[in-house]
Structure 1
Amino acid sequence: MRKRLEPVALERERCAASGSSSSGAAAAALDADCRLKQNLRLAGKGPAEPRHAADAGMQRALGRRKGLWFRLRKILLFVLGLYFAIPFLIKLCPGIQAKLIFLNFVRVPYFIDLKKPQDQGLNHTCNYYLQPEEDVTIGVWHTVPTVWWKNAQGKDQMWYEDALASSHPIILYLHGNAGTRGGDHRVELYKVLSSLGYHVVTFDYRGWGDSVGTPSERGMTYDALHVFDWIKARSGDNPVYIWGHSLGTGVATNLVRRLCERETPPDALILESPFTNIREEAKSHPFSAIYRYFPGFDWFFLDPITSSGIKFANDENVKHISCSLLILHAEDDPVVPFQLGRKLYNIAAPSRSFRDFKVQFIPFHSDLGYRHKYIYKSPELPRILREFLGRSERERQH
């Protein structure tokens, strides 16, 4: 009986082994199939991922472009709004135009002590303070001729005032807008004129530099008149010439017209880079270029100047001047156009007031690069002044 059962058990074991073997094979086959399908799915996803990343990158780039355009549009709208707002602001506040014409708040060069002209290389210069009106004080520099350089060392104001009575002629210099009497190009001109044997007296108008007061055309003219009278009270019979530059030409012609009307004209008038009147100069100034063709330009920009009492009418003043006139102008002047200086000469030359006096116009070619404030560099300037002022002196004596 046991012998008959043993073969059956062995058969069952073989079947079980066979079954387990076949099921393991099946499981292995199933695992292999699953791995294959997974690999196929992964392989199928492979190309889709880069496309998704590229789309995301493109969207980010588009987002950045939209953000940049949005910012640029905001800036553009702000600039346009400011462009259209400025004319109305100036019209409503005419004082803004006066500030822009005078530019007295621009003190260049900075950090200099106007009480010490020697710091600017003017070792033969004395600083004064005069009082044209109550509550108005103006700072004055007096530079003696270079030949007196050694004698001037350590001298006080009284010595300088007495020196005005010497045999050397005197130039009253009226500077333009912005800066002070210590401006670089102005100091260089003082040195040139001093080397030619002239006393140079210059000052800052009320509101400029360390001068006290509020700027105005009337006030500037009165300051110049006060300094002129102060010079004449000390200079005896010495010739006194008036030199105006840029905006200072407007002060100079106002002053000389007034002096001629009271029959005490200066010995000659020199205008460097002059204009005809302040309206034409404002319209021709480079800063006005972006508004020059703006509708109502005159009403918005020029009328406020007139309403502020600012005219500087050189073209009218020269018709009432009875002394010799010299006009110096560089062709490449970017601030006061050359044609305005030429136009002023054409107005002055045929004027009856000048029938007994010399009127001369000296242009400086643009290749020289003298622009608005460097005519002092001209090697011809000493000869020009010597001939013109020498002739004026002879006319005065006759």
Structure 2
Amino acid sequence: MAGLVVVIVVIASLWALQRRLIYFPDRAAPPVPAGVREVSYRTEDGLTLKAWYVPSSRPGAPVVLVAPGNAGNRSYRLPLATALASRGLSVLLVDYRGYGGNPGSPSETGLTRDVRAARGYLTEELGAGRVLYFGESLGAAVITRLAVTHPPAGLLLRSPFSDLASVGREHYPFLPVGALLKDRFPVADQIGRVEAPAAVVYGDADSIVPPRQSREVARRVTHLVREVVVPGADHNDQVLLDGPQLVDAVLALNAAQPAS
């Protein structure tokens, strides 16, 4: 009986605290680097969020909306933005609610609202004509959901998982993860509904998201432009943060013809 009570307490605690095991924000507002414009926009539930816009030197350049993973803040993705800007693409580095000095606490619903507001800023305030989506790990799930309702010019998913429960079971096999989760992020189930050219990039030594899950996502893409498997690369290796294979895949998407 005592053992059952312990199990119940542990499961109840995990239910209550689970988002602390999913989201790892750097809550500090990072200083704005030279050549970067800090912008803000308002979400549908009333939060004002800050992001960084990194412009290309090319007038009217396509814009890449970067939805980050579950850790850090926008400063961690600046090398990626710089690499893309040097190749002729402007970049919006999003920070979710609770990240990078932004108000609020992260959740699946909240992150969905955040990227929707970021897209609205690009299309309505900035007047961007061509927008590409880039989703990193958890951000791949966030941006896929946006792409279903607001198709981009192209969609790049970096190290995507099938759904959050599937990747959670890899790390907590002793827990009923599927029953406990509040946030689901069903990437594999949603990606087939995206009517846009897409690319999937992942490492074959990923210790966070099993490569087989990224392969499954790629298999379900309707308009796959490129699947890039980086040999020996783990989830957070530099080559998967701003490496040439990643940047080239974004450029290939930008050059792709619209899906028909």
TM-score with structure 1 setting the length:
0.59
Which whole-Å CA distance do the structure 2 matches of 1:141 and 1:341 have between them? 28
Matches within 5 A, 1:336-351: 336-348=209-221
Matches within 5 A, 1:1-398: 85=6, 88-104=9-25, 107=26, 113-114=29-30, 116-118=31-33, 123-145=34-56, 147=57, 166-183=59-76, 186-236=77-127, 238-259=129-150, 265-285=151-171, 288=172, 292=173, 294=174, 297-298=175-176, 301-305=177-181, 308=182, 310-348=183-221, 354=222, 357-366=223-232, 369=233, 371-374=235-238, 375-391=240-256, 394-395=257-258
Q: Which amino acid aligns with 1:117?
A: V
* Structure 1 pair 380–215 and aligned structure 2 pair: CA distance change class (3 A): closer
Deviations 1:123-149 (A, max 9, x none): 21011222214541211111112x37x
Q: 1:384 is aligned with what amino acid?
A: A
Q: 2: CA distance between counterparts of 1:131 and 1:278?
A: 27
Relative contact order, higher structure (CA 8 A, sep 6+): 2
Given that residues 273 and 372 in structure 1 are in contact (C-alpha distance below 8 angstroms), is that contact kept between their aligned partners in structure 2? no
Q: What does residue 72 of structure 1 align with? A: none
SS of 1:127 mapped into structure 2:
strand
Hey, what does 1:153 align to over in structure 2?
A: none
SS at match of 1:197: coil
Long gaps (5+) in structure 2: none
| TM-score w.r.t. length of structure 2 | 0.88
Deviation string 1:38-90 (CA, Å, 9 cap, x unpaired) is xxxxxxxxxxxxxxxxxxxxxxxxxxxxxxxxxxxxxxxxxxx9xx9577423
Would the alpha carbon gap of residues 130 and 86 (structure 1) be closer, same or farther in structure 2, given more than 3 Å must change? farther
Counterpart residue type for residue 182 of structure 1: S
CA contact (8 A) 1:329 1:362 kept: yes
* Paired positions, count: 257
For 1:329, what is the secondary structure of its paired residue?
Answer: strand
Distance (Å, rounded) in 2 between the aligned partners of 1:235 and 1:133: 18
SS in 2 for 1:274: coil
Q: Distance in 1 between matches of 2:115 and 2:29?
A: 22
Does structure 1 retain, via aligned residues, the 8 Å contact 2:153–2:258? no
Cα distance in structure 1, aligned partners of 2:163 and 2:197: 20
Distance 2:241 2:217 in 1: 21
Query: Relative to total residues, which structure has the larger strand share, 1 or 2?
Result: 2
1 CA distance for matches of 2:6 and 2:79? 41
Give 1 or 2: higher helix fraction: 1
Instruction: Provide the secondary structure at the position in 2 that maps to 1:328.
Output: strand
Change (3 A) 1:91 1:390: same
**Gap change, CA 1:387 and 1:319, over 3 Å in 2:** closer
Q: Which has the larger radius of gyration?
A: 1
